[in-house]
Amino acid sequence: MKPRRARVTGIGGVFLKSRNPERLAAWYRKNLGLVISPGGQVATWDWRSIRRPGHVGSTLWAALSTGDREWGPGRPTAQVNYRVDELDRLLAQLRRAHVRVDDRIEESPYGRFGWAYDPEGNRFELWEPPRRYRSPERHTPMD
């Protein structure tokens, strides 16, 4: 019998390297509605595992300065995908706030996707799941 392989079980956190973490966190609070901890640059979403309902976990979002952690050599590259409830409404809000938003919206069996940029030039993806994935039986909301 082969030993069970280790695997990824979810996203533990999203960490954005920032020149000004306080300002970047405030931007995400204002424009994407992230609930940022008082006096900080951190948002946390608690969730329950569908496979293990008694298990409660959390996913962390943080804007961090270059000195807050070891980033490794080179410039970090990543794109964060945020699940959203109304893609068109959020993209319109971002445009009204003069946020750089890609014109393209992708429609697929997996949902609808749009993209925008934060003030430090980080591109992020906005994902509106298809209705069949929005029921409580299929996912745990992160709010």
Q: What is the pLDDT of residues 25-83, one digit of tens each?
A: 999 999 999 999 887 889 998 888 788 888 888 899 999 887 777 777 777 777 899 98
Q: Are strands 56-64 and 42-48 parallel, antiparallel or unpaired?
A: antiparallel
- CB contact at 8 A, 108 and 128: no
Q: What is the pLDDT of residues 81-106, one digit of tens each?
A: 998 989 999 999 999 999 999 999 99
**Side by side, which strands form the sheet with 80-83?**
80-83, 123-128, 111-117, 106-108
Domains and CATH numbers, the chain: 13-65+78-133 (3.10.180.10)
Q: How far apart are CA 87 and CA 83, in angstroms?
A: 9
Q: What is the pTM of this model?
A: 0.77
**Does residue 6 register a pLDDT over 60?**
no
The number of CA neighbours under 13 Å toward the Cβ of 67 is 1
